[in-house]
Amino acid sequence: MHYIIFIIKKGFIMATKTKQPLTSKQRTNRIIITAVIVTVALLIASIGGAIAYSKYLNDGGASRRLISFKTDHYKVNNSMLTYFYFTDAYNYYQNYGAYMSYMAPSQQAPDMTSSLSAQYYDYGTDSGTPQTWHEYLLNMTLSNVQGYLFYAEEAHENNFKCELDKLVNEYIDNLKKDAKSNGLSLNEHLEKFYGNTVKEKDVRAALELQYYANEYLNSVQEDLKSKLTEDDFNNYIKNNADTVNMIDYYSFSFETEIPEDMSQEDKDKADEANKTAAAALEEALNASEDKVATFKEWVSTYLTEQNNLKDEPLSEDDLKTEIETKTTETTNKTKDEKSEFSLWAFEDGRSAGEVKNINEATAKHVVYLLTNPTHIDDDPTKNVRHILITADEYGSDEKAKAKAEEVLEEYRNGKEKSEDAFDAIAEKYNEDGSSFYENVTKGTMVETFDAWIFDEAREVGDTDIVKTEYGYHVMYFSGDGVPTWKSNAQSSLVEEKLTALGEELQAKYEEELVVDQDNLLKIPDALPASAFSEPKETLGGGTTAPAETDPAETNADDTSDTSDTTSADTTEDTAA
């Protein structure tokens, strides 16, 4: 059996490797669950395009009566599953749309509004098993849904309580606000993005299951984290030496591009020239007491002299940039078994200030200055609170900025200047799904946000306004978190324990899981074309902070088929 880990990301500021934050659609209480889920025979292995999906696209009543998943206390009908599936598909498209053709073995990006059962994710050339885009995307959703059910069952068994109604109502309020801003009722808005089988009641039922499972998982994660011991951390360092231990160094490469038609004589001359220059830098460093200053000065002079010899020298600004780039220290570099320098630098007994000159290729000689031998990354992480104010919410960038200034003044003029006081204000105004970020490692947040919290002059209690591409952030600095290595260790150790827990839940609940294969085949295989008619609109989710709901429209448009809504059998057991 195959287990898949999906990690929760709350909020939208967390950046990817390219420092891109999560999309605005993910802003409000992100509900992707960390779950260990089983890929079993029930998953659609071959759907094809023969099913007449359109006959199931009615007012939702028939779809709502079709139960696709069921455990002892919970069930998921086809309207709920359609909501889960389309939401996952929209997220996938929004995150990877430009790269979908590169990600698929078929090299074919799908038309999301046409039958995905007729478009191939994998032709099966290598695997021997063709797979359509519908199968690929729906299988991900089915795996997620199994995870929700397993964790919800475990939460139910442990009599877990949470503010379920509050969480669901906040999300529904956001959907209503989005709908109203586009001149639509909520169910009209849902029909635009999910077709006419998904109504408010179905979204609520889906969210009740999803949030309940997710909140239970969050509590488990926090409990696991709190129970980690020093022995756990010491063993982590011991067992992960190659990824935990790091070095810092400077390096400069003397190299000449070698064209294919270059004569051996010219290669030898180029190699000798670079060898001589590298030896000169090595000698200068070994003779210096302040090796870093010598390195920077020597390299700067060398690059300037070389630039003066060029037929088309760099401009003064470009030369300055090149010098800054090539005299920047490389920090927190882990061991590379294929690198001669790395193997040397990680040897026992190395000390700061040692120099290594390596002939790495023809006409390429590299001089390394080791500044910090083997160590763990003990730079502190940061804890920060913020209140996000957006132009979407207040009508313009100017108004959002003014509101952020007003919120900051409300805090600064308050009777109490504390983290709790700031948090209370965040409850009123924050548009992000989370106001508190704990143990943030450097480079995790978007650039301006990251720069503010990692400013060396930052002190506990500092407040300010930081602008990002997502709006204005009223900031409160809570202080340092745990060392970076420890934060990474916590994440790894907790994930390991969650994997083990998932295996336990798999064994515990798989026998009670009932799946109706026929009903799975009736899930629509194309997203509504109306969802893509206006690209700037949010695809199937709220983008703003919870709003006060107009009582007149709370359920005004949700009058169809109220008798056959199917959700958790024991919704009352899950509410706080």
Which helix (H) or strand (E) is 322 found in, with range?
Answer: helix 316-326
What is the per-residue pLDDT for 538? 42
Left, alpha or beta for 353 (phi > 0: left; psi -120 to 50: alpha)?
A: left
* Distance (Å, whole) CA 92 – CA 23: 11
Residues 6+ apart with CB under 8 A from 518: none
- Mapped onto helix, strand or coil, the DSSP state of residue 548 is coil
- Mapped onto helix, strand or coil, the DSSP state of residue 15 is strand
pTM of the predicted protein model? 0.72
* Helix-helix angle 200-226:484-509, to 10 degrees: 120
What is the per-residue pLDDT for 103? 87
What is the per-residue pLDDT for 126? 84
What is the per-residue pLDDT for 177? 87
* Local mean pLDDT, 10-residue blocks, the chain (576 residues): 29 30 32 37 40 48 93 97 96 88 90 94 88 94 95 97 94 90 93 94 97 96 95 95 94 94 94 97 98 98 96 96 97 93 96 98 96 94 97 93 98 95 95 89 93 97 96 97 94 94 92 93 93 53 30 38 43 36
What is the per-residue pLDDT for 160? 98
What is the per-residue pLDDT for 59? 59
Question: Within 13 Å, how many C-alpha atoms sit on residue 384's CB side?
Answer: 31
Tokens linked to 408:
């900051």
Q: What count of residues does the chain have?
A: 576
